[in-house]
Amino acid sequence: MIVKALRVGLGQLIVFADWASRPAKLKRDPAAQALVEQQAKSLSLYQFHACPFCVKTRRTLHRLNVPVTLRDAKNNEQDRQTLLTEGGKVKVPCLRIEEDGKTTWMYESKVIIDYLNKRFAA
């Protein structure tokens, strides 16, 4: 019980620190931003709100100004089940990429962040 309380408290501290030190969004011209927003419709991030690796991934999304749909794999049973049955395991963060009729499930924050930087950095 004490360990759970410690985890919850630490998680909230991580979320607060993220909020307090969030990086500035990348500025693009309206046409370029519209293209990014269109491309982002094919992406979903399965995550836990207070997971440090998920926070790191969300910070990158914020910095790159990429509006991705967030899926709560901890508190939403449907999202968790989708992650398990289609992605193969309940592990976060996980980026779901739907392109050309094909779905790719990308795990590991470093891999996801590298992908996002290559695809959306100016």
Dist CA 111 CA 95 (whole Å): 10
Is residue 83, in this structure, part of any structural domain at all? yes
40-65 average pLDDT score: 97
Is residue 48, in this structure, part of any structural domain at all? yes
For residue 99, list its beta bridge partners: 102
For residue 95, list its beta bridge partners: 45, 106
Q: What pLDDT, in 10s, does the model give residues 71-84?
A: 999 999 999 999 99
Q: Name the residue with tokens 């901890």.
A: 74
pTM: 0.90
Residues with Cβ within 8 Å of 80's Cβ and at least 6 positions away in sequence, in order, are: 73, 74, 90
Is residue 11, in this structure, part of any structural domain at all? no
Is residue 20, in this structure, part of any structural domain at all? no
The number of distinct structural domains making up the chain is: 1
Is residue 104, in this structure, part of any structural domain at all? yes
Is residue 85, in this structure, part of any structural domain at all? yes
CATH of the domain at 78: 3.40.30.10
Counting DSSP H helices and E strands in the chain, the numbers are 5, 4
Instruction: Say what the alpha-carbon torsion angle 7, 8, 12, 15 is, to the nearest 10 degrees.
Output: 60
Closest by CA to 82, choosing from 90, 54, 57, 102, is: 90
Q: What pLDDT, in 10s, does the model give residues 8-32?
A: 888 888 888 888 988 899 999 999 9
What percent of the chain lies above the pLDDT cut of 70? 99
Residue range of the domain that includes 84: 36-120
Tokens of 2: 């004490």
